[in-house]
Structure 1
Amino acid sequence: MQGMSERQYAAHAGLSRGAIQKAKAAGRLVLLPDGSIDAAASDARRAETTDPSKTRKPSGPKLKPVPEAAVAAVGETLREQGLAAPAVGGGTTFLQAKTANEVMKAQERRIRLQKLKGELVDRARAETLMFRLAREERDAWITWPARVAALMAAELTAALGAGRKWRRR
C-alpha cells in the first residue's frame, strides 16, 4: 500500500471514517492506483472543495476559568464531609466537584426537610427573640425597686453589726 487507508486518513484528518468514505465517494480525495489515499494531495483538494462555513471547529476542550471562590467552596464542602480536598489552586477534578455538588444538594435537602418538620427555626427570628429576652432581663435588674435595695442594705448592716458584737465578747 503506497498511501493511507481510510482509517489512517480519518485519524490524520481528524474526521470519522464515515466522513472519509463520503468524501471518497464524492471525489474530494486523491486516490493512488492501489486504492489507497494520497494524504497530501487529498488535504489540498479537501481544502479547495470544502465550504469553510460548514466545517466544524475543533472540538478540543474549551474550558472556562473557574473562580477561586468556587474551588475554595468545593474544597471546604469536601473537607466538611471528611473527603480528600485539593489544595487551593491545586486543581479540582471533575469528580471532586461533582461529589461536592451532590453533598451540597443533600445538605440543602436535609435542611429543607428539617424546616418542614419544624426542627429548625429562622435564625433572624431566634436572634430577635433572644435580644428581646436579654433586654427584658436587663430592664428587670435595672428597675429593681429602690425599697428592696434599702431593705437589703438594712439587713446587711444589722448582720454586720451583730457579728461585730459577737466578736467583741
Structure 2
Amino acid sequence: MEGLSERAYAARSGLSRGAVQKARKTGRLVLYPDGSINAAASDARRAETTDPDQQMRAQGGVGTGGGDGAANAVSGPGDSASYLKARTALTVYQAQERQLSIQRKKGVLVDRARAETLVFRLARQERDVWVTSVEEQSEGYAKSKLKWVSNDEPLPFLYESTGQITRVTMECAPEARQFGSAILTWTGFW
C-alpha cells in the first residue's frame, strides 16, 4: 500500500471518516492506483476546493481574530472573513427582496412614476383652484359702482394674481373671451 487508508488519513487530517469518504466520492482526494490516499496531494486539492469558511471552522476558528495570528490573518479576497461577509450580504439582500415582493403583493407599495404623476396633477389642480378662487371677487369689483370711477361699461380687463401666476380675462373682446382666460407666468417684465 503506497498511501494512507481512509481511517489513517482521517486521523492525520482531523476529519471524520465520513468526511473522508465524501471527499473521495466527490473527487477531492488524490488516490494511488491501489486505492490508497496520497496525503500531500489530497491536502493540496482539498485546500483548493474547500470553502474558506469551512476551512476556518475545521481549524477551530470563526474569523480573523484570535488564535495563532498567522493562521487567522486576513490574506485577501479568498479569506474566510470576506467570504462570510459576502454571503451575509447576499442573504440580507435576498431577504429584503422577498420583503419587497410581499409588500407589492399586499398593495403596500405603489409605482413611483404613477404616484409622481398623480401628485403633480393634484398640485396643478390645487394651483388652478387657488388662482380661480378669487375670480368671483374680481368680477364683483368689475361690476361694482365705485364713486370715483365712472364704470357704466364693464372694465376691459380683469386679472387675478398670486404673485407668481397672473390670470387675465379680457372683458372688452367677447370674441376673444371664447378662447378662455390666459394664464401668464410672472417674469418681472410684464
Greater fraction strand: 2
Higher helix proportion: 1
TM-score strictly above 0.5:
no
What is the TM-score with the length of structure 1 in the denominator? 0.37
